[in-house]
Structure 1
């Protein structure tokens, strides 16, 4: 019988790397496809002025589905799949950083915070240019300064999402701001996702341990981890949502100052603006975390070195 509260963490050195990467790509792609519509809705809610077009998550979903069909919920998805590279970079950095920190400290919280932050830094450096382009595809409008007008969103969204549109958006971004235009909102992204990642991992392990202490000893660890993931996601999303709203505005509207964008947001829409898209973000992040946890923990179990297979505790 295993000690209550002690959920074993499979570390980097325990893995067969060939299995880990081949199965990891499939896991990442399926996860992104599942949660992409919620990410699209979140972006549109955060960028619109007030409630000019959508009154909330459910209203946005119904209007997009009615006006654009299912394809409308996947605008920009093909381009977004290039972030598969950043997904693999994220998990590699996370595992390697955990190993480095473990040489100096046995604290799982410290390892999770440092590794989560480092992984997000690497991933966002790869992801931001892809996000900048895919977010404009999500909005269905890409004028000179990328400031989408709500009344035009549905009209332009009826056009098919093609690589031709991606090329046009990329050309306009480069013409307006040069190469740095593809990193518009990079600082805002780091200020959003590094804290989010650094918070998610320790909260995830904390919730998993607390659930294990309260669950019957025969309860599968994977089930406890599956519950802990969404709980950690909801916690981290709520804490970091204000910065996520600013990030979306900076990237889509072509702004250069995080501070000025935040000030204008508060001046125009009040303190409630920092909660914009929070429900959509939680709706997106909690199932994402559930899928990631189940997928990632299963992936690590399936990728164990042959001599460690007996350590698989489901």
Structure 2
């Protein structure tokens, strides 16, 4: 059914699924590689005590670059790339839940909120073990004193593929068992489900408002590319306090969300809840632009042939 808005939304049933997944893997990998350095910096900023290591996002960037080189900004990237699986699970869940909810309501905000939250739940269940390992790898180098685990001397040289990863995984399992790979699961859900649930409604809201203000001949893709970063900044600001707690739980080996939250407030005050926010917004802005432009272009490229001529962009 036609949406009552200026920007047409391509729904799940409009897509050629083979094209959608083929292009989707490439798009997701491109996004991961683009924003990974900012993700690594955000993690180190969130875990450090006060400004013991870095004074801010740009200070962290230049210090890591000088001390560890480009490779330092990509510590744990190969492990993190396995989140490609969760990325595909996310977009599939999002589209399928939107389709299901459409049977009960035509309100796009409701559909986006429910679908975004559900997609995040599925994706995080796959992502958490990958995040736990990759975050420990991120902390090596300048941030290794902030981590519970250290790389043994025989894995510091890249002699074996994933040698460092196996070393960290063995230490996590020895310390916490299988549960160690799901440390911070509850905190992650409290971070990413609201983040996703907030992002999609705001994305469609900003896109709709921009389409009203923009000239009638302005391409929809430009408006969507502007709406994505606005939605990302909004969602990041709202959910950053929980993201700080999540990072500390996973890196420091804590178990209690409330205890971690209280200690953070006690040590650093409420400003501690904003740690890594600028890095998060900096990473989420290009992510949002690439994701929105890429995702909307992906859907257009994946549109079933018989529908191409009926769509006007």
TM-score, length of structure 1 as denominator length: 0.93
Aligned to 2:59: 59
Written as runs of structure 1 = structure 2, the 5 A alignment for 1:247-258 is 247-258=246-257
Deviation digits for residues 49-104 of structure 1, max 9, x if unmatched? Answer: 11001000010000000000011100000000000000000000000000000000
Aligned to 2:43: 43
CA contact (8 A) 2:194 2:239 kept: yes
Aligned to 2:125: 125
Give the superposed CA RMSD.
2.2
Measure the CA separation in 2 of the matches of 1:144 and 1:74: 18
| Distance change (3 Å), C-alpha of 1:268 and 1:98 | same
CA contact (8 A) 2:139 2:146 kept: no
CA contact (8 A) 1:145 1:176 kept: no
Aligned to 1:83: 83
| Distance change (3 Å), C-alpha of 1:22 and 1:117 | same
| Structure 2 unaligned spans of 5+ | none
CA contact (8 A) 1:35 1:287 kept: yes
Measure the CA separation in 1 of the matches of 2:170 and 2:148: 16
Which runs of at least 4 in structure 1 moved beyond 3 Å after TM superposition? 141-148, 158-162, 311-314
Aligned to 2:68: 68
Structure 1 counterpart SS, 2:181: helix
Measure the CA separation in 2 of the matches of 1:273 and 1:162: 37
Kindly indicate whether residue 304 of structure 2 is the aligned counterpart of residue 308 of structure 1. Answer: no
Aligned to 1:209: 208
| Structure 1 unaligned spans of 5+ | none
Shift of 1:110: 0.3
Aligned to 1:292: 291
Q: How many residues align?
A: 306
Deviation digits for residues 80-139 of structure 1, max 9, x if unmatched? Answer: 000000000000000000000000000000000000000000000000000000001000
